A and B are shown apart, each in its own frame.
Chain A
């Protein structure tokens, strides 16, 4: 089985995002990503979409901590990063962004030790976000522990890598369980990304950042997630088509073939659990064929859950272990999971887009002569078509005898 879910725990006192200890969370995440990258880079279909690590916790020289990953692409590679920018314990007092989730073309990168060792970009996009309780050695956070959960699939065509960071201890309202996934979507070449940083009543920034990378730019995929995912009713969905790579015309010209929609990765279920009922975080739904785990948390932004089919492997060397063995999870109810694929099975049913932008859907309103001419039923009535229809003839100025009846039809008018 190539789909694996595994995790490791960091006890209060040893949980520290802001450090480069080999057993610390930063380098453990880095190691998990490198292991995934090595496996998928070796797949023939990824020859032009290689993943690599540009920066990790090991490169940090100041108060910035995080990673920069390169997404390979046949046109031009790109970078994605997640960096915390403050070393204070984030929690109840958080009133501004303390982290950034960003993206840029690889060609805009200056590979030096500026910005805390992470280098600089001449042109980049960033979303403000934050982590809570990033260091349990600090005052006020000494009771805080954490888990790092990794879900990955190395099946060709459905490559998927997801990390989730969940803190525990102290006041449940103050945690901020975040998640970032890289994945392939059917019909697209490059890597797609979804990052979910929840927001509770105590937090300043929440963020759902969706990216598709087309080789020249990152397309935001913001729109459909609000309308596609029911705002209430505790519905969580997976496999749903989210939007295009891009919502402007390609700089080089016009689409004349339908750009495919980006789908949410099949194992991730995203939606709202904001009303009440669901666990604050560490929720779990047990089924005969698998377990659903809450990667996010109850949030006024989006919650995110992970499907772990029965028999999912966690075959990784210590200190990695089964996520299901943790005692933190709490059985949840009052949730609705909606997906196209049977529980236990992947992938979702393909959802295909017909066409991309307004410019290339030709729209013929029926109440215009031009539109009526294009209409499958009204059009033939207007055109001179001697062979067709068996109409009563006597066309309105037509040379061949229109099949349009001379009486009984108000619309469309003859033209």
Chain B
């Protein structure tokens, strides 16, 4: 399978967020151009790119937009939005749905809709203390399994491990999933937004589907994001009809591990595949395929 993994690690003393983000953005632009050629029904766009001359007080990061073929009830294309901005030491992630393309709510939150009731802002913090900056950028243009991911670790505790960008195709619907996980110890700090075909509405998530760490350590495929659904029953007057959803599945190069704070660890299960842990919440990125078909039968 065609995949690329690049090490952009650098000395902590030399690491500034704008320089890192600008380097990542170069790879992102190249990948995004190719991905848009391949996936014509979904257009990805970097609405805001990292500012190379951002000072410590300036927000620096991305707003990524994905225009879907799917239309909102108002008849305009649905736009998936993801903002990842670092200001000083505050690392903020905001997923959303826009009601127009280009998205007009640039200077206000007008038109910005969170994908589910409990999938709002997520935050972490960036360390300005000189720390080793261990970082990877990976991507694939395998048809149907396209993804781009940027992950880093500043030390082995999960409040310094992040996946600031994860753009991947949902294996069920084929829509893009825009996701990011801040450097945070909260197990559900991840934010993701996509479009659910079956229910005809945005789908959001705040956590990977995985067992807790007291169960046997396992690498679980496919990597699935737990859907966040608004519990309308809290509102006595609401009478929402029952809804049917499909799960959000990341491409097969991703898996879920029920260990935390193992970012940049390397895992070799007995089937011969090899996996790199990214972020602080159990996401694995495959670096080597299993030589033979997996599976088998328990006697």
Contact = CB atoms under 8 A, between A and B. Distances in A.
Interface of A: 74-75, 187-190, 214-215, 223-224, 227-228, 230, 232-235, 241, 243-245, 247, 255-261, 275-278, 285, 287, 292, 332-340, 342-343, 349, 351-358, 360-367, 371, 374-378, 408-411
Interface stretch (B26-34, B72-80, B208-216): B208-216
Given A74-B299, A354-B271, A277 B232 contact: yes
Contacts of A364: 265-268
B121 interface: no
Contacts of A336: 227, 229, 242-245
A232 B156 CA distance: 32
Interface string B255-273: 1000100101111111101
Nearest to A366: B264
Interface in B202-260: 209-212, 214-222, 226-234, 238-247, 255, 259
B1 interface: no
Contacts of A287: 244
B218 A363 contact: no
Given A233-B231, A241-B220, A410-B132, A257 B287 contact: no
Interface stretch (B3-11, B35-43, B84-92, B95-103): B3-11
30 contacts: A187-B297, A187-B298, A190-B298, A228-B209, A233-B229, A233-B231, A243-B215, A258-B269, A260-B295, A260-B298, A277-B233, A292-B242, A333-B241, A338-B246, A339-B245, A339-B246, A340-B247, A342-B198, A353-B218, A353-B221, A354-B221, A354-B294, A355-B269, A363-B259, A365-B262, A365-B265, A371-B266, A374-B266, A378-B7, A410-B11
By Cβ-Cβ distance, the 3 closest A-B pairs, closest first, are A277-B233, A355-B269, A358-B217
A257 B233 CA distance: 45
Nearest to B222: A351
A235 B118 CA distance: 15
Given A361-B269, A365-B156, A377-B5, A245 B242 contact: no
A337 B196 CA distance: 13
Given A232-B231, A257-B271, A362-B268, A333 B218 contact: no
Nearest to A190: B298
A411 B134 CA distance: 9
Contact of A188 (B269, B294, B298): B298
Given A335-B243, A354-B219, A377-B136, 15 more contacts: A190-B298, A244-B216, A244-B218, A257-B270, A285-B242, A334-B240, A336-B244, A351-B221, A360-B270, A363-B259, A363-B267, A365-B156, A371-B266, A375-B276, A411-B9
A259 B212 contact: no
A201 to B, nearest CB: 17
B297 A189 contact: yes
B291 interface: no
B266 A376 contact: yes
A325 B270 CA distance: 52
Nearest to B232: A334
A408 B255 CA distance: 33
A355 B271 contact: yes
A334 B269 contact: no
Given A233-B231, A235-B229, A334-B242, A258 B211 contact: no
A308 B246 CA distance: 18
Contacts of B12: 410
Could you say which of B244, B246, B290, B298 has the most chain A C-beta atoms within 10 Å of its C-beta? B298
Nearest to B118: A233
A255 B218 CA distance: 13
A370 B182 CA distance: 28
Contacts of B290: 354
B134 A366 contact: yes
Nearest to A341: B246
B287 A259 contact: no
Nearest to A186: B295
A365 B157 CA distance: 12
A153 B264 CA distance: 46
A187 B294 CA distance: 11
Given A376-B287, A410-B132, A362 B211 contact: no
B219 A355 contact: yes
A275 B230 CA distance: 13
Contacts of A360: 269-270
B299 A215 contact: yes
B51 to A, nearest CB: 26
Contact of B299 (A189, A258, A377): A189
Given A187-B296, A364-B265, A343 B247 contact: no
B236 to A, nearest CB: 9
Contacts of B241: 333
Contacts of B153: 366
